[in-house]
Amino acid sequence: MDNDPIIVGWGHSQFGKLDENLEQLIGAVTREAIADAEIDAQEIDAVWLGHFNSGLIGDGFCSSMVLAAMPALRFKPATRCENACASGASAIYAALDAVRSGRVTLALVVGAEKMSGLTSAAVTKALSGASYQAEERDLSFPQIFARFAVAYAEEYGDPAEGMAHVAVKNHHNAMRNPLAQMHRQIDLEFCRHVSERNPMIADPLKLSDCSLVSDGAAALVVAPRHMAKHFRRAVGFRAAEQVNDLLPMSAKRLAAFEGPREAFRRAYAAGGVGVDDLDFAEVHDCFTIAELLSMEAMGLAEPGRASGCVIEGQTQRDGRLPINLSGGLKAKGHPVGATGVSMHVLAARQLVGEAGDMQLARPPGLGLCFNMGGGAVANCVSILEPIR
């Protein structure tokens, strides 16, 4: 349809422990995305910012920081979207709805987070605000996903070997991503064993199973499809589905990843595709067990069989379905509010042949992004395709 939304420009910062503050990160990617779309900032009709915060730096009311990036953005409506680690994708989906409705013609979406200014303990405490406080307030997110791993082991067998292969693969992929936080290869022996450099964080999750504390930002410009001819390239949404599940872990079957599974099902139905039609996927590997569970939720592996798929190389860049070509949250980094937008930016670059060293040898036609908030609570699945 004429108003179906398309991505027509993008920007992406380095991820890592950065000197820039939140406002500077937001400003840099905003200017980059607008320049990349080859539009004037005045043409932007509305702004959405994906940002979690939860006590990280105190900048909770930050949507208007985007407006300071360029004088012509002043007085544009700007809204912050918070949905835990799915804040970025949720901001995108809000913009998609506005463009599709015709209320907005050009939308700017930014995802950003500044996390490195606090101690590890303080960051862990802040992130725990995304759990069900009535039952889980004393649990860190490593402890929450350790429960997923334990439940999976009880139902299907120990996933430790598969988790180790996920970590090695994603660190290897990050070596091709100049924007990734971690440019260091790790080997299977390191990931398999507890050591001084690889301590146990929350049994059975070791440090090598956990994503990074990161600063960073990403941005994109969304337009209606009838304007595609005005841009040098465009990426469309075959599907964009959000499924929220119950918040308490006690209310869910942890080994099944029920919310993500439903989000994938709806996205496939909306897009008229299946897992075998995908050419690559960026999935929310906040912990290595999450990538294994995501593989089963998306239908790439039968329940209990994800480890075998990873060990066989099916998710390598030359495998059946390359997963996390960017390095994923595990090695690219995980600035919480930026993650969902980052996934979409890097997938779009892949689809139009602008992914640099990350580019697949065969031209991809469909890419999937899965951005998740909390313990499989907020689940956003996009299926993207090149338009021109």
| 74: CATH | 3.40.47.10
pLDDT for residue 282:
98
Torsion-angle region of 313 (φ positive above 0: left; ψ -120 to 50: alpha; else: beta) = left
pLDDT for residue 221:
98
Residue 358 lies in a domain: no
pLDDT for residue 17:
97
Assign 372 a pLDDT band (cuts: 50, 70, 90). Answer: very high
- On the question of pLDDT at 355 being above 90, the answer is yes
Catalytic member of 62, 81, 85, 380? 85
Residue 371 lies in a domain: no
Residues 297-303, mean pLDDT to the nearest whole number: 98
Structural domain boundaries enclosing 46:
5-118+213-230
Residue 79 lies in a domain: yes
Query: How far does Cα 21 stand from its chain's mean position?
Result: 21
Return mean pLDDT, the chain. 97
- On the question of pLDDT at 211 being above 80, the answer is yes
Secondary structure element (H or E) that encloses residue 237, with its range: strand 235-244
Residue 78 lies in a domain: yes
- On the question of pLDDT at 61 being above 80, the answer is yes
**Is this model's pTM higher than 0.95 or not?**
yes
pLDDT for residue 57:
86
Q: Largest Cα–Cα distance of the chain, in whole Å?
A: 57
Q: 344 an active-site residue?
A: no
Assign 56 a pLDDT band (cuts: 50, 70, 90). Answer: confident
C-alpha to C-alpha distance for 84 and 313, rounded to whole angstroms: 31
- On the question of pLDDT at 1 being above 80, the answer is no
Catalytic member of 12, 165, 284, 334? 334
Q: 193 an active-site residue?
A: no
Residue 200 lies in a domain: no
Whose tokens are 């337009």? That residue is 223
Tell me the per-residue pLDDT of 95-105, one tens digit each, with 9 for 90 and over. Answer: 999 999 999 99
Please count the structural domains in the chain. Answer: 1
